[in-house]
Amino acid sequence: MEQISNNKPQFFSERKVSIAQVMEVLKKNGIETTEEQTKDILDFLYLLAKTHYDQSAQHTNYDKQQQGDFEHSITASIA
């Protein structure tokens, strides 16, 4: 699976869930997978989590920018 690189903090670079742990959880829920299938599932879940994190960070930065623009316009109108 292709890795996406950027200059943001590497929150997802260190994986804390092993393939064995995922296989165990899936098996407890009646899902039998090979190690390769489990790796693909885990890769997908990390990609999904990273995408969510990146989008949340973008919204937070946008909100901060909007707040700064608003404060600047108020300060300019008072002065």
Q: Quick: pLDDT tens for 5-38.
A: 444 445 556 788 999 999 999 999 999 999 999 9
**Residue 21 in tokens:** 């742990």
Burial string for 1-17 (b: 16+ CB within 10 Å, else e) reads: eeeeeeeeeeebeeeee
| pTM for the whole structure | 0.56
What's residue 23's pLDDT?
Answer: 97
What are the respective helix, strand and coil percentages of the chain, to the nearest 5? Answer: 70, 0, 30
